[in-house]
Copies of this chain bind each other. A is one copy, B any other.
Amino acid sequence: MKRTKSRATSFDVAALAGVSQSAVSRAFTPGSSIAEDKRAKVLEAARMLNYVPNSIASSLTTKRTNIIALILGNMHNPFYVHVLNEFSRRLQGLGRQILIFTVDPGSESDDAILRALQYQIDGVILTAAQLSTRMTSICHERGIPIVLFNRYIPGSDASGVRCDNVGGGRLIAEAFLAAGAKSFAMITGDPKGTTSQDRVRGFVERLMEEGVRRSEIEEVPGHSSYDGAASAALSLFAARSRPRPDALFGINDIMAMGAIDALRHRLGLRIPDDLMVGGFDDIPEARRAPYKLTTVRQPIDQMVARTLELMHLDEPDRPIERGIDLPLPSRLVWRGTVPVPPAFRAAAAEAAAADRPESG
């Protein structure tokens, strides 16, 4: 069978309904002035012809496509999968579509943004990668809001939403200290990203307040991946002269999980008996039986909501606010990888209760 290529246009519908083409347009535009019976006739004709309004054509005049570009870096980190899900759910609810771009983590996102711009997207959400100031200003010149998710770029005009990473790092340090840890190590993520840097900073800062010397806190890069963290952990613990650390901070959950698996199954370490481990993000996987990871929860829902607010999708003519940095509070979730000190028993019990059903 051949393609009929029969896409009915508003003119076809108008002809069938016996009205003008503009009437058809009005019938499909909420809040435009058209008589109810006429609208009904149009809708009926449209149904008969399988007419679907052409958003591409309408955006040519309205200057709005209702498309948002979502630029994703590391999809291998489940955190971003949940972020994508949440954005998708909400944006669809707002009648917006998502044009997706995946870029290599750590690489420039300029290319992706440029391609997005060709599609006259109404906004850009960037969850990854670097952003040049040139690209930022190109977007802003055109009135296209661009907001960074889970990161900020110092000195950038782009606004961003993230959680309080420094505070979160402190929470983990606090938990380790309360559990009696004496020597510390961490597996870090992208060294160029503020997210990893801030978590490290908060963690170190808090430890130093208790008299721990920076040189005593071991640090090894885990490349933000499960496997990277697994080898990092092994290199940290395998053969060593100095005493093993008794507390390990994985800068994100997926790395903490990689470290836990490697340490347990390759080196036979018991957690938390031999080593306590803390993570960051609180991805759903962190609750699972093999991990029961004590971690810092990022308020994804809130972060997504604030991101959308920052874009002001329904006020397209509003001047774009520059360089807003919106840090949201994070909180510690006590689970099984850090021994729970008496003072935190209640919090731990609460977390355990909340963990019962995994949403998904």
**Inside 8 A of A225's CB, which chain B residues have their CB?**
358, 360
A2 to chain B, nearest CB (A): 5
A34 within 8 A of B: no
**Inside 8 A of A84's CB, which chain B residues have their CB?**
75
Our pick among B3, B81, B92, B118 for the contact of A75 (Cβ within 8 Å) is B81
Given the interface contacts A50-B141, A102-B89, does A76 sit within 8 Å of B360 by beta carbon? Answer: yes
Flag if A319 contacts B3 (CB, 8 Å). Answer: yes
CA gap between A88 and B115 in the complex, in Å: 14
Flag if B52 contacts A118 (CB, 8 Å). Answer: yes
CA gap between A119 and B118 in the complex, in Å: 14
CA gap between A348 and B125 in the complex, in Å: 44
A19 to chain B, nearest CB (A): 21
Flag if A67 contacts B99 (CB, 8 Å). Answer: yes
**Inside 8 A of A117's CB, which chain B residues have their CB?**
52
Flag if B100 contacts A226 (CB, 8 Å). Answer: no
A303 within 8 A of B: no
Flag if B3 contacts A320 (CB, 8 Å). Answer: yes
**Inside 8 A of A142's CB, which chain B residues have their CB?**
3-7
Our pick among B5, B65, B261, B266 for the contact of A56 (Cβ within 8 Å) is B65
Given the interface contacts A67-B99, A227-B360, does A289 sit within 8 Å of B261 by beta carbon? Answer: yes
Our pick among B55, B140, B360 for the contact of A118 (Cβ within 8 Å) is B55
Given the interface contacts A102-B85, A289-B264, does A3 sit within 8 Å of B97 by beta carbon? Answer: no
Our pick among B115, B288, B320, B322 for the contact of A97 (Cβ within 8 Å) is B115
Q: Quick one: CB contact mask for A62-96 with B, threshold 8 Å, 1 for yes?
A: 00010100100001101001001100110010000
Nearest 7 pairs of A and B residues by beta carbon: A3-B143, A76-B360, A265-B289, A261-B289, A290-B290, A55-B118, A88-B102
Other CB < 8 Å A-B pairs besides A53-B118, A225-B358, 9 of them?
A: A1-B140, A3-B320, A6-B141, A54-B120, A56-B119, A88-B101, A97-B100, A97-B115, A99-B100
